[in-house]
Structure 1
Amino acid sequence: MPEEDLIDIKFRLYDGSDIGPFRYSSASTVDMLKQRIVSDWPKGKTVVPKVVSEIKLISSGKILENSKTVGQCKAPFGDVPGRVIIMHVVVQPSLAKTKAENKIDTSPKKGVCSCSIM
């Protein structure tokens, strides 16, 4: 693989910490990047993605599609040889998990009123 075909990418997490940088071929897909993020996620974080579908990658202000390649996602104005591309990682837990955690309390409410009329 030619050296110029490789791209250094660092993933910036929600708390400002980074994963990487790692070197990828420009033919690597966004889905492959997300798989690497899930497998290399740092221990001790409060938000942890369990599957690739919980991750969104943002580069140059655009959410990247899983089927796109790294070469297609590069910003043309940011191509400086030897530069590390930073992609931001957004974790969105699956909707089913979120709904289970946010169950509505259906227990009867006790009405308490304390009015003072003078």
Structure 2
Amino acid sequence: MAEREELIELRFRIFDGTDIGHSTYTPSTTIASLKQRLLAEWPQGKTLVPKSVNDVKLIHAGRVLENKKTVADSNITFGNPPGEVITMHVVVRPPITKKRTGKNQEEMQKMNSCSCTIL
């Protein structure tokens, strides 16, 4: 007779205090699949929206959780009483701005330089 896995109840708190993805998960669920679900349930109208799993970091008990590990591998339930809802914090990497090339910097210097002549 196979033993039933104990389900873990998780919720995810994003940067503005909003909770999303409140549900139960099996200990064999990977961190990457948790992030996939977060992306699918991300609230509309937020100024910062992740585009991929790599743009999201899950933090629990001060540790950043790795995508390849499972909930069980990450010791999510450590220090929490059984049946308690566990809150994970979600950090979103801001979009990367493009670096300026040397040509653009030269153009900016020409625009900002003064061509006045004092007699």
TM-score when scaled to structure 2?
Answer: 0.78
* 1:99 aligned onto 2:100: no
CA offsets 1:1-53 (integer angstroms, 9 cap, x no match) = 83x61111100100111103111000000000000011110000000001111
More helix by share: 1
Matched residue type, 1:11: F
Matched residue type, 2:43: P
Unaligned runs of at least 5 residues, structure 1: 112-118
* 1:110 aligned onto 2:108: no
How many pairs were matched up?
Answer: 106
CA offsets 1:32-78 (integer angstroms, 9 cap, x no match) = 00000111100000000011111111001000011111112214222
Structure 1 segments, 4+ long, off by >6 Å, are none
Partner residue of 2:79 out of 69, 74, 77: 77
Partner of 1:20: helix, strand, or coil?
A: strand
RMSD of aligned Cα (Å)? 2.2
Q: Which structure is larger by alpha-carbon Rg, 1 or 2?
A: 2
TM-score when scaled to structure 1?
Answer: 0.79
